[in-house]
Structure 1
Amino acid sequence: MRLFPVARLAGALALCGALAVPAAGAADFTTSAGYAAACGTAARSGTPRDDDARVAAVICRDTALVRQIVTWGTQGFARMETQRMPREAVVVEVRKEIDYVIGELGATRKLLAQVKLGKRKSLRLAPAQWELDIDGDGAVKLWEKYLFALPKRGHQAFRFSGPSDDLAYYEREYNLGAVIHVDQSDILWSLAYHHFIEGLLTNLRAFELSDKSDGVILARPALMKAAHQLIGNGFVISGKMRQEILAETDDDEEWIGHPRQVNSVFPVPLDEADFASWGRMIKEMSALWQGRTLLPTTQGGGGMLAAMAPLCPEGSGLNVASLYLKPPPAGTVYAFRNTKLPTNSCQRIDKVHPLSPLPQMAEQAQKSDTGMGFLRYLYWTN
């Protein structure tokens, strides 16, 4: 699986848009020519009026957004370096680009939320067949041709690598013949990813860089609350998606399959234990996100988080919900060292608000041979 810096976000966007596809007869996303024709029709049709038109619009807008991000990330940064733009101008352009991405994600998220396929299947999708000029240089290089291709199914290691123009690499590592017959669980997978990515970028825009090198400034506290809602909704939708998958009775060219479905092209095979841990993880993340459990970020404490972020007094933990929903005033500096949070962000550890087991789970995965595999699992299951 390739995850080079500019394309990491692009790849997630491409997948979450690509897996929401129209019903048969509405559009053809099985070939490069079909993709071009479908997106041309979507662009001319205006506001989509039914589910198939909505999901077609999501595919086309999300893949266009991928192209925008990668083109800007390559040509834009090269232009700014050549022009020797001052730091202030660069920051303004970066903000503008992030705001554009947030706006597009919000629009496609709202379209996805309206899609109700029920038990019916939608179009068959062959993402490796698309051939798009991703970086805007007028040519379709091999890595662009296969940007949307799915890694082969199996327990491969999670790794970071640059874009490749080696055909043998794609034939060896990717399922170039993968076909997905999309259903409602795939729509929910895409919708959860839209919430998470939009929420993370909204969180980012809440802050500005400090003139000092030791922190960032909280410039827009209201965006902290918006980010909390978006990410929290993502956990809820991911839980619904998991239940939707487990309830499926067919086995026809699946994206994410449950343990009894063998015809799945999902890169990570999931067994009963995986679905159980997935459910536990969603439960624990939701509890942490809503402030029912606390992070062990105690001053002088042990463990990974305590060592990295000694934020709270002894006997208390970080209440993530309070941190987001009751943020400090604009202008507050978050230092990378010796950060002092508002007192309401730290809460006494008790039976009502116990410590979250998530840091311990992460540490166990980090220490084991399955640590990177666990990261791969988290990436694909959102």
Structure 2
Amino acid sequence: MRLSPVSRLAGALALAGVLAVPAARAADFTTTDGYTAACREVAKGAVPRDDDARIAAVICRDTALVRQIVTWGTQGFERIHKDRTSNDAILVEVTKEIDYVIAELGATRKLLAQVKLGKRKSLRLAPAQWELDLDSDGQVKLWEKYLFALPKRGHQAFRFSGPSNDQEYYDREYNLGAVIRVDQSDILWSLSYHHFIEGLLTNVRAFDLAKDYNGVILARPALLKAAHQLIGNGFLISGKMRQEALAETDDDEEWIGHPGQASSVFPLPLDAADFASWGMMIKEMSALWQGRSLLPATQGGSGMLAAMAPLCPEGSGLNVARVYLQPPPAGTLYGFRHTKLPTAHCQRIDKAHPVSPLAQMAEQASKSQTGMGFLRYLYWTN
């Protein structure tokens, strides 16, 4: 299985969604014509009046956002190269695009948060049928036709590559007939991803690129606090989603399936041990994110944290929450080389603040043949 960066973003954005019409005329997202008709109604701007309508609005707005990103990334870069646009002008344009994405993600996140399906099933989705002209060049190429298609279910390797226009590749690697009937666990899966992506981009916007391009300047410290809240909420929602999935008793065109559900089209099969591991990861990440556990970052340290670690005194570790909630003043420069975080972000390791096992787990995974498989697991379970 190969996932391009765009398809990974699309996967994270697209699965959720119905439109502001009576429930008896629920939108059809199993065909290209159905998708087009539903999104045409959403584009009229009517306020969604029920959960199905909110879900449809999220699907249409998120896929439109993917189209916006792909179009800008193709036509925009071609124009920039042709016009020999200055670096300063490019930064202004990139910033504008990021701000637009953040605003759209915020809007659809709020719609998803209103969806309360309970035990009810909502829309049927067939993502491989959404044939869209994503780069706005007037034609639908094969990679555009299948950008939202789901990889076949199994334990394939996690690899990166560019878009493919080989039909045999999609027949071999993707489940082109996959259908999902949206339930509440799917809503929570999408909602957690919206929090994560919006939080990461908000984190990026806290900084400006230095004039000499040798580092970044903390320009908007308040955005670090906003990013911390968004990402932290993403962990909480992911935990709720896991519990919601485990509690399901039906088995009808599932997206995320627990070990007792056979109809799941989730690309990664999850057994009881996987669900337990998932719960442990969420628990440890939440503890680290909220400052209840610490990252080992002492003087003379090595490994993945060495480049950006503060010179924490012996017996102390990095408190991630302090990095976000107690940032240095605006104007602080972070060079791309030899930058150290402020030692004020260090905290004494004790019973109430133990060392997090996550750094060691990530280090071990990166050095083993299972590393990319572990990354695939983290991606799909968010």
TM-score range for the pair, normalised by the shorter chain length: over 0.9
Q: Which residue of 2 aligns with 1:141?
A: 141
- Cα drift, residue 181 of structure 1: 1.1
CA distance in 2, matches of 1:206, 1:118: 37
Tell me, yes or no, if the aligned pair for 1:245 and 1:257 is still in contact at 8 Å: yes
- Cα drift, residue 134 of structure 1: 0.6
Backbone CA RMSD of aligned residues: 1.6
Identity over aligned residues, as a percent? 81
Tell me, yes or no, if the aligned pair for 1:128 and 1:146 is still in contact at 8 Å: yes
Tell me, yes or no, if the aligned pair for 2:191 and 2:237 is still in contact at 8 Å: yes
- SS at 1:188's partner residue? helix
Q: Deviations over 1:332-372 (max 9, x none)?
A: 01123332333321111111111110011112222222111
CA distance in 2, matches of 1:171, 1:21: 29
CA distance in 2, matches of 1:102, 1:312: 34
Tell me, yes or no, if the aligned pair for 1:294 and 1:354 is still in contact at 8 Å: yes
Select 2:17's aligned residue among 8, 16, 20. 20
Q: Which residue of 2 aligns with 1:150?
A: 150
Q: Deviations over 1:267-311 (max 9, x none)?
A: 000001100000000000000000001111222024432366354
- Cα drift, residue 238 of structure 1: 0.1
CA distance in 1, matches of 2:45, 2:330: 43
Structure 1: gaps (5+ residues): none
Structure 2: gaps (5+ residues): none
- Cα drift, residue 96 of structure 1: 0.2
- Cα drift, residue 252 of structure 1: 0.8
Tell me, yes or no, if the aligned pair for 1:10 and 1:69 is still in contact at 8 Å: no
Tell me, yes or no, if the aligned pair for 2:127 and 2:179 is still in contact at 8 Å: yes
CA distance in 2, matches of 1:272, 1:100: 40
CA distance in 2, matches of 1:53, 1:354: 46
CA distance in 2, matches of 1:222, 1:308: 21
Q: Which residue of 2 aligns with 1:297?
A: 297
CA distance in 2, matches of 1:212, 1:312: 29
Amino acid at match of 2:12: A
CA distance in 2, matches of 1:282, 1:301: 26
- Cα drift, residue 215 of structure 1: 2.1
Tell me, yes or no, if the aligned pair for 2:309 and 2:340 is still in contact at 8 Å: no
Q: TM-score, normalised by structure 1?
A: 0.96
Tell me, yes or no, if the aligned pair for 1:301 and 1:310 is still in contact at 8 Å: no
Tell me, yes or no, if the aligned pair for 1:21 and 1:182 is still in contact at 8 Å: no
Amino acid at match of 2:340: K
- SS at 2:44's partner residue? helix
- Cα drift, residue 187 of structure 1: 0.2
Tell me, yes or no, if the aligned pair for 1:24 and 1:122 is still in contact at 8 Å: no
Q: Which residue of 1 aligns with 2:35?
A: 35
Tell me, yes or no, if the aligned pair for 2:7 and 2:147 is still in contact at 8 Å: no
Q: Deviations over 1:28-60 (max 9, x none)?
A: 100000000011112225111211111111010
- SS at 2:295's partner residue? coil
Note closer, same or farther for the CA distance 1:248–1:11 as it changes in structure 2 (3 Å cut).
closer
Q: Which residue of 2 aligns with 1:62?
A: 62
CA distance in 2, matches of 1:176, 1:156: 16
Amino acid at match of 1:58: V
Q: Which residue of 2 aligns with 1:239?
A: 239
Q: Deviations over 1:130-160 (max 9, x none)?
A: 1100111010000000011000000000000
Tell me, yes or no, if the aligned pair for 2:51 and 2:117 is still in contact at 8 Å: yes
Q: Which residue of 2 aligns with 1:99?
A: 99
Q: Which residue of 2 aligns with 1:4?
A: 4
CA distance in 2, matches of 1:154, 1:32: 27
Tell me, yes or no, if the aligned pair for 1:297 and 1:306 is still in contact at 8 Å: yes
After the TM superposition, which of the residue ranges 19-28 and 237-246 deviates more from structure 2? 19-28
Q: How is 1:128-277 mapped onto 2 (pairs within 5 angstroms)?
A: 128-277=128-277
- SS at 2:334's partner residue? strand
Q: Which residue of 1 aligns with 2:344?
A: 344
- Cα drift, residue 87 of structure 1: 0.8
Q: TM-score, normalised by structure 2?
A: 0.96
Q: Deviations over 1:168-192 (max 9, x none)?
A: 0000000000011110000000000
Tell me, yes or no, if the aligned pair for 2:29 and 2:126 is still in contact at 8 Å: yes
Q: Which residue of 2 aligns with 1:354?
A: 354
- Cα drift, residue 70 of structure 1: 0.3
Q: Which residue of 2 aligns with 1:47?
A: 47
- SS at 2:136's partner residue? coil
- SS at 2:306's partner residue? helix
Q: Deviations over 1:45-102 (max 9, x none)?
A: 5111211111111010000000000000110011011101111110000000000000
CA distance in 2, matches of 1:21, 1:267: 24
- SS at 1:317's partner residue? strand
Tell me, yes or no, if the aligned pair for 1:10 and 1:70 is still in contact at 8 Å: no
Q: Deviations over 1:78-128 (max 9, x none)?
A: 101110111111000000000000000000000000000000001211111
Tell me, yes or no, if the aligned pair for 1:219 and 1:330 is still in contact at 8 Å: yes
Tell me, yes or no, if the aligned pair for 1:128 and 1:147 is still in contact at 8 Å: yes
- SS at 1:304's partner residue? coil
- SS at 1:194's partner residue? helix
CA distance in 1, matches of 2:307, 2:97: 34
CA distance in 1, matches of 2:7, 2:177: 22
